[in-house]
Structure 1
Amino acid sequence: MAARLDATVRRLADRQRRLWLLALASYGLGDLATTLVGLAAGRGAEAGPLAAGLLGRYGLAGIVLLKLGSLAVFALLWRVAPNPGRVAIPLALSVVGVGVTAWNVFVLL
């Protein structure tokens, strides 16, 4: 079983660039865009307490800066993490990004 897990991790590690692109598209852009559309249309609210606080205090710029800052921190962690395990970072961002974006689209419909 450990050999199969190692093989899966290595296959994912070989696809890190694609995972980062998916993470940027879903977590970075998809979540942000659908959140902004929902807020502008009055059809949703920011669920994250930190993001909601920044939105209330700084407006849309607060959410954008939070998103950029979190992506920068994750990229830095990825840079210092050892291979092949560091693939977990863009993989997790992709899973969260796709899930949150899908939920936001569901709320908007």
Structure 2
Amino acid sequence: MALHPWLSLDGTSVDQTEFTRLWIIAVATYGVGDVVTTVALMEFSKTVVEANGIIRAAIDAFGQPGLVSLKIAVFLMCISLSVDAANREDGLLYYLPPVALAVVGAFTTALNIRLMYG
């Protein structure tokens, strides 16, 4: 299945291995780490509520699928931004989305773990 031209890294100076590794780190922290710890908090602690109003509204309306859907939407937007930046040879916007998601994900995962055991 061929990718749309704007989703392709062909013709760019981007190392596809580096791109993959950056996004694996973002998925591990923001995707898996934050989602798993948020779900654990929702299931096991009735006194802790989601601090992010948008995520709280999605969870209230749709439950865990709302949380996962929101995370997927954020990933798709950020990957699109990163690929577009790579095609324009914009190093800052190429690196910013996965690094920002990884930092936010690591922070929220650590905070959630602290809330679980704190």
TM-score in terms of structure 1 length: 0.81
Matching residue of 2:74: 70
Once the two structures are TM-superposed, the CA of residue 23 in structure 1 deviates from its matched residue by 0.5
Relative to structure 2, which stretch is displaced further, 59-68 or 38-47? 38-47
- Structure number with greater CO (CA < 8 Å, separation at least 6) is 1
Contact persistence 1:34–1:104 (CA under 8 A): yes
Matching residue of 1:5: none
Unaligned runs of 5+ in 1: 1-13
The alignment status of 1:108 with 2:116, answered yes or no, reads: yes
Count of residue pairs brought into register by the alignment: 96
Q: Which runs of 4+ in 1 moved over 6 A?
A: none
TM-score in terms of structure 2 length: 0.75
Unaligned runs of 5+ in 2: 1-16
Matching residue of 1:31: 34
| Structure with a larger share of its residues in helix | 1
CA RMSD of aligned residues (A): 1.5
The alignment status of 1:94 with 2:117, answered yes or no, reads: no
Contact persistence 1:30–1:101 (CA under 8 A): yes
Overall identity of the aligned pairs, in %: 30
Q: How far apart, in 2, do the equivalents of 1:55 and 1:64 lie?
A: 9
Q: How far apart, in 1, do the equivalents of 2:18 and 2:69 lie?
A: 28
Which residue of the other structure, out of 22, 46, 62, is the alignment partner of 1:19?
22
Contact persistence 1:16–1:90 (CA under 8 A): no
Matching residue of 1:7: none
